[in-house]
Amino acid sequence: MAGVISESVIKRLPRYYRFLGELKAEGKERISSKELSKRMGITASQIRQDLNCFGGFGHRGYGYNIEMLQTEIGQILKLDRPKKAILIGLGNLGRAVAMHMNFESKGFHLIGLFDAKESIVGQIVRNQPVRSTDTLDEFCRENLPEVAILCIPKEAAENISAQLIKLGIKAFWNFSHYDIAMHHPDVVVQNIHFSDSLMRLSFKMND
């Protein structure tokens, strides 16, 4: 069963989780891989293969119980595991991420906000004070966050990420263009690169 899960499967898991949530909201109780495949636009084979990386969640002749399957995938994604996160950089983007994201539903607790700029430090965002990055060491030693969300420019990210790793940060949600994974192969990184995405859109546009 388990073993190493391929990147391709990991990429699809949140989508399954979302679609199952919708089905649940519609009041449905069970669904077959065939029916789900139509809805999601992928093959039934792929759905069954993907799910069987983690165990046999279905019942022959019946399909999958929606509620149960969503719960299982939530556990596989570790959404139920509490994860302490800090966010660095409260410019437009950092502010939007802090205010807009539903962290709690994924098990993340945003326990600290930091910025280097004097004019931003002290502001209140999402009921929390923005702290100075000068206090990062002290804060991390006291509160032991595991995740850092980087909403800062490339240049700043280089130094801050090294500092954070020394302070015990094990995972990064990276909105900067600094390639953390390349420089620190030992930590977990998920990138969100707006401009890469926008360039891909540009490429795909028909003339």
| H or E segment and range at residue 113 | strand 108-115
Binding mask 49-88 for its own copies (x = CB under 8 A): ---------------------------xxxx-x-x-----
Is residue 178 a contact residue for its own copies (CB under 8 A)? Answer: no
Strand order in the sheet with 63-65: 30-31, 63-65, 58-59
Distances in Å between the alpha carbon of 91 and those of 69, 125, 129? 39, 11, 14
C-alpha to C-alpha distance for 57 and 68, rounded to whole angstroms: 8
35 lies in the binding site for its own copies (CB under 8 A): no
* By CB under 8 A, residue 117 contacts its own copies: no
Q: Verify binding: residue 29, DNA, rule CB under 7 A.
A: no
- Beta-carbon contacts of 110 under 8 Å, excluding residues fewer than 6 positions away, are 85, 86, 87, 98, 103, 126, 128
Please report whether residue 48 would count as binding DNA according to CB under 7 A: yes
CB 112 within 8 A of CB 139: yes
Which secondary structure element, helix H or strand E, spans residue 84, and what is its range?
Answer: strand 83-88
Pairing of strands 171-174, 58-59: unpaired
10, 43, 122, 141: which one contacts its own copies (CB under 8 A)? 10
| Residue 181 found at the interface with DNA (CB under 7 A) | no
Nearer to its own copies, 139 or 173 (CB): 173
Per rule CB under 8 A, is residue 104 in the interface with its own copies?
no
Residue 159 interface partner, choices its own copies, DNA, none, CB cut-off 5-8 Å depending on type = none
- Contacting positions for DNA (CB under 7 A): 6-9, 32-34, 42-46, 48-49, 51-52, 56-64
Q: Which residues bind its own copies (CB under 8 A)?
A: 10-11, 13-15, 17-18, 40-41, 76-79, 81, 83, 91-93, 95-97, 99-103, 106-108, 146-147, 170-171, 173, 177, 181-182, 188, 190, 192-207
